[in-house]
Amino acid sequence: MSNNTETKDAPYKPTSPNSKLDFESVWEYAPAPQSSDFVEVKEQYNLFIGGKFVKPSKGRYFKSTNPATQEEITEFAEATQKDVDNAVKAARKAYEGEWSRISAKERGKYLYRIARMLQERAREFAVLESMDGGKPIRESRDVDIPLVAAYFFYYAGWADKLEYAFPGKKPKPLGVCGQIIPWNFPLLMLAWKIAPALACGNTVVLKPAETTSLTALKFAELVKDCGLPDGVINIVTGAGQTGAEIVNHKDIDKVAFTGSTNVGKIIQKSLAGTDKKYTLELGGKGALVVFEDAPIDQAVEGIINAIYFNQGHVCCAGSRLLVQEGVADKVIAKLKDRLETLIVGDPMDKNTDIGAINSKEQFETVNKYLELGVEEGADIYQSKCDIPDNGYFIRPTLFTNVSQSNRVVQEEIFGPVLTVQTFRTADEGIEKANNTPYGLASGVWTDKGSKIFKMGSKMRAGVIWANTYNKFDPTSPFGGYKESGVGREGGLHGLAAYTKI
């Protein structure tokens, strides 16, 4: 079945560009596929509990597919209550046993070892990440995996220096941490969760997302190879129900969740009245505020990075462009031209800019929003690029002629869809930027330093990038205001979330 028919039947037609520039070149790039024959994928993956790969107690498995080809890659075990209980017990045993007896310096050594092993096998992990999740190999190779190693290196350094991180305190670990991660940056989110938890002396039970569990289980193999004591890291696969078992398990001391705001609210409710600590990193609807005095060509590039990075599957994606009226036409025209040079297609091709939408479910969600935008009266613009016949692909999209009251402006789409609004004064820009239940990230483009600081202090977002977007660094805390989350990950703040001080 071709999914493209669904797009073709949609109530809108892909618009063709009105640019004077012609990007349909006589000189086209030949396919440059990343080889994947050196990567081994088993037919079936089991749960990783207590240092061993064990079959799920109910014997159920679910399939994992490559979203770019819709081919089955492998199958994962479905962890049920008993399995989660076993995992928590293994984590508890390790926490009270060997892991608490080794010195902080030794803990750090294990993390350094994991980081180095990840670097050695970086290309393998990059290939798996793209195969399983649909993200372009350029991103998994140049962004995801290098950052994964960087987070492990960073928190490895803190392991034996916690008393310097929190002067005058005696930081203690929390215990067993239940961690649930999303499908947009599978291995990177694993690193954000596991690295600080282990650095502080905790043990973990981690559940990867059901559509992207492959790298987590490859990581489990790496953990086994590196000789980490059994039970310090446990990985259980499954869908929402498995996650709920972790959250509600009575012997979990802390819950760390990254995912949708809806699920985050459910988790928060179920944790009410318990003494479990929690951090939640949820949705977003980031605003990109572009002033008249901005470096326009670089702002356009920043906007492209903000919304089309990882198919727009980024919680901090800048999905609302707010552009000052004086330069709006210029910015929109340039954006449209730039869309024409984005290459959409095979995630394993080194030249691909936008890969496959992560799953059928998400593909349908994004398409629903495209239809909704048109129904709401917005003007839709898509690049005329070719997209593959199979797999879940969506052309990079702009919605113009929208306002704050449109649902495509208010709701997180989590796809390659940007809405464009205009503003006249800085105050209006701030008001519109903040007029959302979310508050994860924002961007400002201006040549004027003082304006950056003014905007930065008034915009209610956990991260504000100036003249750039989607820059990540292990030393920098990340997290949201309002419905975008509770607590911070990364940096010292991220360390504090895994200690009793």
Give residues 245-274 in contact with other proteins (rule: CB under 8 A).
none
Q: Which of 133, 243, 302, 494 binds other proteins (CB under 8 A)?
A: 302
DSSP states along 19-79: -SS----SSPPPP-BPP-TT----SEE-EEETTEEE--TT--EEEEEETTTTEEEEEEE--
Given a contact cutoff of 8 angstroms between Cβ atoms, the answer to whether 165 and 157 are in contact is no
Q: For the CB of residue 447, give the shortest distance to other proteins in the complex, in Å.
A: 4
Place of tokens 């009270």: 96
Binding mask 3-42 for other proteins (x = CB under 8 A): -----------------xxxxxxxxxxxxx----------
Reference 276, options 256, 262, 301; nearest CA is 256
**Cα–Cα distance between 254 and 47 in angstroms, integer?**
21
Q: For the CB of residue 429, give the shortest distance to other proteins in the complex, in Å.
A: 18
Measured from the CB atom, the residue of 2 and 16 that comes closer to other proteins is 16
Is residue 326 near other proteins by the rule CB under 8 A? no
Q: Which of 221, 301, 376, 431 binds other proteins (CB under 8 A)?
A: 301
Measured from the CB atom, the residue of 31 and 377 that comes closer to other proteins is 31
Is residue 294 near other proteins by the rule CB under 8 A? yes
Reference 259, options 267, 251, 248; nearest CA is 267
Q: Which of 142, 325, 389, 473 binds other proteins (CB under 8 A)?
A: 142
**Cα–Cα distance between 85 and 8 in angstroms, integer?**
47
Binding segment (CB under 8 A) for other proteins, from list 120-128, 166-174, 237-245, 291-299: 291-299
User: How do beta strands 277-281 and 379-382 pair?
Assistant: unpaired
- What token pair was written down for 165? 């991180």
**Cα–Cα distance between 304 and 414 in angstroms, integer?**
15
Measured from the CB atom, the residue of 175 and 347 that comes closer to other proteins is 347
Measured from the CB atom, the residue of 20 and 101 that comes closer to other proteins is 20
Given a contact cutoff of 8 angstroms between Cβ atoms, the answer to whether 286 and 441 are in contact is yes
Known catalytic membership, residue 226: no
Q: For the CB of residue 396, give the shortest distance to other proteins in the complex, in Å.
A: 15
Q: For the CB of residue 350, give the shortest distance to other proteins in the complex, in Å.
A: 4
For the sheet containing 417-423, what is the strand order?
A: 379-382, 397-400, 417-423, 318-324, 286-290, 441-445, 463-466
**Cα–Cα distance between 446 and 158 in angstroms, integer?**
36
Q: Which of 36, 119, 351, 410 binds other proteins (CB under 8 A)?
A: 351
**Cα–Cα distance between 241 and 323 in angstroms, integer?**
42
Q: For the CB of residue 295, give the shortest distance to other proteins in the complex, in Å.
A: 4
Is residue 341 near other proteins by the rule CB under 8 A? yes
Residue 338 exposure: Cα atoms within 13 Å on the Cβ side: 21
Say whether 463 sits in a helix, a strand or coil.
strand
Known catalytic membership, residue 281: yes
**Cα–Cα distance between 402 and 321 in angstroms, integer?**
11
Q: For the CB of residue 32, give the shortest distance to other proteins in the complex, in Å.
A: 4
Is residue 426 near other proteins by the rule CB under 8 A? no
Measured from the CB atom, the residue of 27 and 38 that comes closer to other proteins is 27
Q: Which of 124, 139, 281, 483 is catalytic?
A: 281
Q: Which of 315, 412, 483, 489 is catalytic?
A: 315
Binding segment (CB under 8 A) for other proteins, from list 49-57, 294-302, 420-428, 457-465: 294-302
Q: What is the DSSP letter of 344?
A: B
Q: Which of 350, 458, 460, 493 binds other proteins (CB under 8 A)?
A: 350
Q: For the CB of residue 385, give the shortest distance to other proteins in the complex, in Å.
A: 13
* Torsion angle of C-alpha atoms 424, 426, 431, 433, degrees rounded to 10: 90
Active site residues: 281, 315
Binding site for other proteins (CB under 8 A): 20-32, 138, 142, 293-295, 297-299, 301-302, 333, 341, 350-351, 447, 467-468
